[in-house]
A = this chain, B = another copy of it.
Amino acid sequence: MLTIGSLGKKTGTKVQTVRYYEQIGLMPEPGRTEGGQRRYGDAEVDRLSFIRHARQLGFPLEAIRELLDLSDNPDRSCHEADSIARRQLKQVELRMDRLKALRTELKRMIHECSGGNTADCKVLEVLRDHSECLTDHDEIGA
Q: Which residue of B lies closest to A142 (CB)?
A: B142
Chain B neighbourhood of A85, CB < 8 A: 106, 109-110, 113, 123
Closest to A74 in B: B119
Query: Using Cβ atoms and an 8 Å threshold, which residues of chain B touch A135?
Result: 56-57
Please give the distance in Å from A87's CB to the nearest CB on chain B: 10
Whether A103 is near chain B, meaning CB under 8 Å from some CB there, is yes
Known: A58-B141, A74-B119, A124-B81. A99 touches B89 (CB 8 A): no
Main SS class of interface, A: helix
In angstroms, Cα B46 to Cα A115, docked, is 24
With A and B bound together, what is the CA distance between A124 and B99 in angstroms? 29
A127→B58 CA distance, assembly (Å): 12
Contacts of A115 in B (CB 8 A): 78-79, 82
